[in-house]
Chains A and B, each alone.
Chain A
Amino acid sequence: AQRVTQPEKLLSVFKGAPVELKCNYSYSGSPELFWYVQYSRQRLQLLLRHISRESIKGFTADLNKGETSFHLKKPFAQEEDSAMYYCALTRRGNTGKLIFGQGTTLQVKP
């Protein structure tokens, strides 16, 4: 069965500290992985996708097929990074259905 697991409900760090939001997935095939973010009073929006291999707002995520992980990392957290983060998976095809993890709230303290 396809599943996305985010083991931490809440991650609290101080400004300037490194951040790693964990995401593990189970999928028998070649998935496409995403990180979505929801800032306070804003819509859920795409942060980054693994096929882009890009850094957005200082965040990066590497797909590790051996460990079936797609952890989100940032070397130096900023207060404006405080938000709810969701890891999501889709099977390539025309439906584009996303399977989301439970979400992790990142709290960056001053």
Chain B
Amino acid sequence: SQTIHQWPATLVQPVGSPLSLECTVEGTSNPNLYWYRQAAGRGLQLLFYSVGIGQISSEVPQNLSASRPQDRQFILSSKKLLLSDSGFYLCAWSPGLAGSYEQYFGPGTRLTVT
């Protein structure tokens, strides 16, 4: 069966420090991968999505970047964190097939920028 992992679960970082959040999927191949930020009162905002290795699309201009070095690995990064980057980050995957739109979410990473 398919599983999705995210780490770390929680992270406290100072302003200006770099960031690297990792997401991996097991049990499937060529998934679509997504990064979301969940902010209180603002719902889930799609940050990046990827339909294949090295293919990244950004949904909103921001201080973050994403990379997909392997088929089932998705990384969210920043060179210098801002206070506004604090939030709950969710990774998700969906089958890379037309007509399969259900997304499966990871446990999330709580990021606090101080």
Contacts and interface: CB of A to CB of B under 8 A. Distances in A.
A110 B19 CA distance: 43
B43 A100 contact: yes
B60 interface: no
Contact of B49 (A6, A32, A97): A97
A36 B36 CA distance: 14
B106 A100 contact: no
Contacts of A97: 34, 46, 49, 59
Nearest to A90: B101
Interface residues of B, number: 29
B61 interface: no
A95 B32 contact: yes
A102 B32 contact: no
Contacts of B104: 45
Given A86-B44, A101-B43, A95 B49 contact: yes
Nearest to B98: A94
Interface in A56-100: 86, 88, 90, 92-100
Contacts of B98: 92-94
Contacts of B73: none
B105 A44 contact: yes
Contacts of B108: 43
Interface in A1-54: 6, 9, 32, 34, 43-46, 49
Given A93-B98, A99-B46, A9 B103 contact: no
Contact of A100 (B44, B51, B99, B102): B44
A32 B94 CA distance: 15
A94 B94 CA distance: 10
B43 A86 contact: yes
Contacts of B44: 44, 86, 88, 98, 100, 103
Contacts of B96: 94
Interface of A: 6, 9, 32, 34, 43-46, 49, 86, 88, 90, 92-103
Interface of B: 32, 34, 36, 41-46, 49, 51, 57, 59, 90, 92, 94, 96-108
